[in-house]
């Protein structure tokens, strides 16, 4: 789950670079003045870095991936045999052991990197409206909700408080402590479905998720007894969607869109009183692990290309699209190379990150332990935007570096994963510190139109993954990962 929005526009330089699709050895670069007029040709730098043999190997990798169900089988095991993998859980540990053992079986050099992670366990979660304007005698209204990660508990028997509905932080501020203290605050920010339908769902997510992340804390700061948000979600099937929230010291939850609407309607008519029970438990921090597995480079083993996804998930569903799929396609990148007996010059490092969802402890530990090697990290790829049909990559790197990715992306043209979209933000939460340190960073970008229908809900399950689309994702990660690991020169910064 990237926490930052993607930029919606495709700069013209990248669009033009996309036209240089055909390798014509030894020809001079196409004149920049009329890029639409000639037969696209590789630039000199592209020709120098992509031998004919490398281009053949990239096609061979793609073809193999498009008929390989290794990644799908990994997702199936992680989701159906292991289950939800929230930080600190026995399932998270089982997933670490499983992925490590699978990668050892592939012949990789596997290390477990210890990470201190939060250990929070969901409890009962119920709510009902017990008093409201126009209430018919003997009635109440059930509210469907779920606790946000790290939420504190209400008393076991629940608490009763009036609900105040706000649409944004400004409205909360205007109400002030006088009207907020002792109450339950509901942030009724609506996820913009039209943006999602138009293909910019991560922008819609970025706009709405601020309230999930910071709303309960803002309410607590004004004396609220609990903080609720409207679920950050794109499909109205009365499913609550959980997620990270800044520790607020009060119970924090997400109600479904339907229930947010109900509460807002009734609150517009008068007083609304809720009985709220959330009984999660917070335990002392637990030990988790990043799985780090190297396929050692033959010429420059010290130069590293990271391919990655995160192994932890939320606990409501089984974390298939977020993010067993990302881990699985990273694993398959190594599996394909081993199957085809391809030995890249540089080290391909598969990382299954721990704790992306509950605070990012895995990424922080990796930065602490490896930042002195970041100058030798040639590039880092993460897949954490689902498992749907891939469109290409969001990238944060120099224009020269992006230009050198183009021949590899062209190999993916048969299924359309050719977009290279510059991002001003790191294109993956777990690779963000590498990106900030100057490591060229790539986020595999999928068709995200339905991602937030399921994201962080009980409906994030294996059946949401279309096997052929997951194969395309594996092909994209494996082709670009291998190109980065075997190009003549390391990708420039």
Residue of 395, 313, 320 lying closest to 357 (CA atoms): 313
C-alpha to C-alpha distance for 344 and 296, rounded to whole angstroms: 8
Q: Which residues contact 465 (CB under 8 A, 6 or more apart)?
A: 72, 75, 320, 321, 325, 387
Q: Is 356 a catalytic residue?
A: yes
Q: Report in angstroms how near the CB of residue 430 gets to Zn ion at its nearest.
A: 9
CB of 205 to Zn ion, least distance (A): 11
441-446 vs 390-396, strand pairing mode: antiparallel
Q: Which residue is nearest to Zn ion (CB)?
A: 1
Q: Which stretch binds Zn ion (CB under 5 A): 299-307, 318-326, 393-401, 404-412?
A: 318-326
User: In the complex with Zn ion, which residue's Cβ is closer, 251 or 319?
Assistant: 319
Give the span between the Cα atoms of 227 and 237, in whole angstroms.
22
CB atoms < 10 A from the CB of 248, how many? 22
Q: Taking CB under 5 A as the rule, does residue 1 contact Zn ion?
A: yes
The minimum distance between CB 64 and Zn ion, in angstroms, equals 27
Tell me how far, at minimum, the Cβ of 359 lies from Zn ion, in Å. Answer: 13
Report yes or no: 10 and 419 within 8 Å, Cβ to Cβ: yes
CB of 310 to Zn ion, least distance (A): 6
Dist. CA 229–CA 146, nearest whole Å: 10
Distance between CA atoms of residues 488 and 344, nearest Å: 10
Q: Among the options 189, 335, 356, 472, which is catalytic?
A: 356
39-to-42, 51, 399, 486 alpha-carbon distances in Å: 10, 20, 22, 27
- The two beta strands, 125-132 and 272-278, are antiparallel
Nearer to Zn ion, 150 or 251 (CB): 150
Q: How far is the CB of 423 from Zn ion (least distance, A)?
A: 16
Binding piece for Zn ion, criterion CB under 5 A, among 30-38, 104-112, 316-324, 437-445: 316-324
What are 306's strand-pairing partners? 349, 380
Give the residue with the Cβ less far from Zn ion, 50 or 366. Answer: 366
Residue placing its CB nearer to Zn ion in the complex, 215 or 326: 326
Residue 113 in contact with Zn ion, rule: CB under 5 A: no
Tell me whether strands 346-353 and 184-187 are parallel, antiparallel or unpaired: unpaired
**Residues in binding contact with Zn ion, number by CB under 5 A:** 4
Is residue 322 at the binding interface for Zn ion, with CB under 5 A as the rule?
yes
Asked if 209 and 457 count as a contact pair (C-beta separation under 8 A), the reply is no
Contact letters (x/-) for Zn ion, 64-93, by CB under 5 A?
------------------------------
The encoded tokens of residue 255 equal 């109600």
Q: Quick one: 1 or 401, whose CB is closer to Zn ion? A: 1
What backbone torsions phi and psi does residue 356 show, to the nearest 5 degrees?
A: -60, -40
- State which of residues 113, 259, 294, 384 lies at the interface with Zn ion (CB under 5 A): 384
**Is the Cβ of residue 259 or residue 323 nearer to Zn ion in the bound state?**
323
323-342: contacts with Zn ion (CB under 5 A): 323
Annotated catalytic residues are 356
Enumerate binding residues for Zn ion (CB under 5 A).
Answer: 1, 322-323, 384
């Amino acid at each position: 789950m990237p926490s930052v929005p993607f930029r919606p526009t495709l700069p013209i330089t990248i669009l033009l670079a996309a036209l240089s699709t055909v390798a014509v050895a030894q020809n001079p670069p196409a004149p920049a003045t009329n890029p639409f007029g000639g037969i696209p040709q590789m630039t000199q730098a592209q020709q120098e870095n992509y031998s004919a043999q490398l281009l053949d190997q990239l096609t061979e990798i793609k073809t193999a991936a498009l008929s390989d169900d290794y990644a799908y089988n990994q997702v199936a095991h992680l989701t159906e045999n292991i289950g939800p993998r929230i930080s600190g859980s026995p399932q998270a540990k089982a997933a670490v052991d499983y992925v490590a053992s699978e990668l050892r079986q592939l012949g990789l050099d596997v290390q477990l990197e210890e990470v201190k992670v939060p250990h929070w366990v969901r409890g009962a979660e119920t709510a009902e409206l017990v008093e409201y304007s126009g209430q018919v005698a003997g009635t109440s209204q059930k509210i469907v909700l779920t606790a946000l990660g790290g939420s504190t508990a209400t008393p076991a028997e629940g608490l009763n408080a009036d609900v105040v509905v706000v649409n944004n932080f400004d409205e909360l501020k205007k109400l002030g402590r006088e009207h907020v203290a002792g109450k339950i605050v509901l942030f009724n920010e609506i996820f913009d479905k039209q943006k999602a339908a138009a293909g910019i769902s991560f922008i819609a997510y970025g706009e709405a998720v601020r309230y999930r992340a910071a709303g309960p804390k803002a309410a607590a700061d004004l004396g609220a007894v609990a903080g609720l948000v409207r679920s950050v979600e794109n499909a109205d099937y009365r499913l609550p969607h959980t997620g990270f929230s800044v520790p607020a010291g009060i119970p924090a939850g997400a109600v479904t869109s339907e229930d947010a609407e109900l509460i807002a309607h009734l609150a517009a008519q008068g007083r609304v009183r809720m009985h709220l029970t959330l009984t999660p438990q917070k335990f002392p921090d637990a030990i988790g692990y990043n799985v780090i597995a190297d396929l050692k480079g033959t010429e420059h083993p010290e130069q590293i290309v990271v391919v990655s996804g995160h192994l932890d998930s939320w606990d409501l569903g089984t974390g298939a699209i977020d993010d067993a799929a990302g881990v699985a396609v990273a694993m398959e990148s190594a599996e394909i190379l081993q199957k085809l007996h391809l030995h890249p010059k540089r080290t391909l490092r598969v990382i299954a990150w721990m704790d992306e969802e509950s605070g990012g402890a895995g990424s922080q530990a990796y930065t602490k332990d490896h930042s002195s090697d970041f100058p030798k990290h040639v590039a880092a790829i993460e897949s954490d935007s689902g498992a749907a049909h891939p469109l290409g990559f969001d990238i944060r790197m120099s224009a020269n570096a992006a230009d050198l990715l183009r021949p590899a992306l062209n190999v993916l043209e048969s299924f359309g994963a050719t977009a290279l979209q510059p991002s001003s933000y790191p294109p993956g939460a777990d690779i963000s510190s590498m990106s900030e340190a100057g490591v060229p960073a790539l986020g595999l970008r999928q068709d995200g139109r339905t991602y937030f229908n399921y994201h962080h809900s009980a409906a994030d399950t294996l059946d949401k993954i279309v096997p052929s689309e997951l194969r395309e994702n594996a092909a994209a990660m494996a082709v670009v990962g291998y190109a980065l690991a075997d190009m003549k020169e390391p990708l420039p910064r």
